[in-house]
Amino acid sequence: MQTAREPTRGPVDPALPGMPGPTITLAATTAVQVMAALAALSVPAIAPAVAAATGEPASLVGAYVSLVYMGSAFAALVSGSLLAQFGALRLSQLALMLCALALALGTSASVAVLALSAVMLGLGYGPITPASSHLLARSTPLHRLAFTFSVKQTGVPAGVALAGVLVPAITVWLGWKPALGAVAALCLGCAAAVQPLRGGLDHDHDPAARTRTAGLLSGVRLVLASPPLRSMAALSFVYAGLQNCTSGFIVAYLVEALGYGWVGAGVGLTAANLGGVAGRVAWGVVSDRGLGARRTLLGLGGLMAVACALAAAFSRQWPAWGVYATGALLGATAIGWNGVFLAEVARRAPAGKAGAATGGSLFVTFVGSVTWPPAFGLLLSVMRSYGICFAVCGALCAGAVTLAGFGWRAATARG
């Protein structure tokens, strides 16, 4: 049942004169998202080649990814202030340029320079989602919000998949440095391709605005001041953590614990990512067509707990189709929740503040992305069981869903 405060039509934020239509805006933001994800995952996709050049173990890719997310967390923190000064599309272009520069810098065989490159990549990756949320919130009818945000968020697993195919192929053909250079060129090309849309999409920017120290935490303060946004951000901390643990450890789980070959384990990772793509679209439809964002997110958390319990029960006696199906369920839930979450953050944000609210929420999300994988690895080193680690992840998801459900129900009861 809809209330007066939850209209079924009309954009979250008022559209501006001369803005491109929702389809063009969605296409542009999705393309930018694909390029940013491709850039962020390019080095991990060719970790053995980079490790051979630096003389370091390929396992250091975990530290590289953590540095990327640390940079992303800081960038999300300040993106609300930067949006006002530069405009959402210009900020996206600058972010892609920074990604390109970071990849060019990453062609150095120095570990220290690669670490700096990872942080720079994170600084470029972090503003992309707040900027796109700002643009989509102004152009998307409310009754299609979750679906539209979910379609845009398919750019992340699509970029990951592209990194897994394109970057290794170029590495085999020309070497790892030209491969990173090619991705840098694609980022610059995308930044140039969206330039004709800037006049229509960045009408609301204020060149005179300046980023002040007091304004750097504006997005976080906005989230903390709003109980709905605060609870959404807390839930994203848990969900993002499981997402990164799924992507980061499923291959090692299948190889080390179940005896799969690299190709067979890679199929498991592919199943998870394909499930994530399908899930991001499907959950957006489910949310928009009647279940609502909150109930959809709670249901997804419950399914994540079930998928983790199934993954914890893996043994060498399991048929391959059962393992892959569980991987797909993990992907559909742990990788597929983002679009519904971002749409609900935009809907709950004050008018004109979707980008700032997204940045503040994503700061918490990225902290989960940074902290969960090392914690998973530490637990694994102590318990020496992937099954126990996934069981703990499932229990944390179930606990988060229970707490969020009780909190949202109490808030509803209060009116």
For residue range 321-375, list pLDDT tens digits in order.
999 999 999 999 999 999 899 989 988 888 878 888 888 898 899 899 888 888 8
Give the mean model confidence (pLDDT) for residues 75-93. Answer: 86
The architecture (CATH level 2) of 19-196 comes to Up-down Bundle (1.20)
Measured CA distances, 265 to 254, 269, 270, 324, 374 (Å): 6, 7, 9, 9, 21
Q: What pLDDT was estimated at residue 98?
A: 97
For the chain, give every domain's residue range.
Answer: 19-196, 218-415
- How far apart are alpha carbons 43 and 50 in whole angstroms? 7
Lowest-confidence segment of 85-99, 112-126, 197-211, 389-403 by average pLDDT: 197-211
Average pLDDT of the segment spanning 111-120:
92
CA 362 to CA 31: how far, in whole Å? 20
Q: Are 93 and 195 in contact (CB under 8 A)?
A: yes
What would the pLDDT profile of 7-19 be if each residue is shown by its tens digit?
Answer: 444 566 665 556 7
- Predicted confidence at residue 163, as pLDDT, reads 82
Mean of pLDDT values over 310-321: 96
State the SS3 of the chain: CCCCCCCCCCECCCCCCCCCCHHHHHHHHHHHHHHHHHHHHHHHHCHHHHHHHHCCCHHHHHHHHHHHHHHHHHHHHHHHHHHHHHCHHHHHHHHHHHHHHHHHHCCCCCHHHHHHHHHHHHHHHCCHHHHHHHHHHHHCEHHHHHHHHHHHHCHHHHHHHHHHHHHHHHHHHHCHHHHHHHHHHHHHHHHHHCHHHHHHHCCCCCCCCCCCHHHCCHHHHHHHHCHHHHHHHHHHHHHHHHHHHHHHHHHHHHHHHCCCCHHHHHHHHHHHHHHHHHHHHHHHHHHHHHHCHHHHHHHHHHHHHHHHHHHHCCCCCCCHHHHHHHHHHHHHHHHCCHHHHHHHHHHHCCCCCHHHHHHHHHHHHHHHHHHHHHHHHHHHHHHCCHHHHHHHHHHHHHHHHHHHHHHHHHHHHCC
Same fold, 19-196 and 218-415: yes
Q: Which of 9-13, 14-18, 35-39, 250-254 ranks highest by mean pLDDT? A: 35-39
Q: Supply the pLDDT for residue 84.
A: 78
CB atoms within 10 A of CB 121: 31
Alpha carbon separation from 197 to 21, 82, 193, 275, 354 (Å, rounded) = 11, 19, 9, 32, 20
Range of weakest confidence among 37-41, 122-126, 349-353:
349-353
> Would the pLDDT of 94 be above 50?
yes
State which amino acid sits at residue 247.
S
Contact 293, 346 (CB under 8 A): no
At residue 86, does pLDDT exceed 90? no
pLDDT at 233 over 80: yes
This prediction's pTM = 0.78
d(Cα 108, Cα 100) in Å, to the nearest integer?
14
Topology (CATH) of 218-415:
Growth Hormone; Chain: A; (1.20.1250)
Give the residue from 115, 124, 105 showing the smallest Cα distance to 33: 124
pLDDT at 240: 94
CA distance 389 to 370: 17
| Averaged pLDDT for residues 205-231 | 74
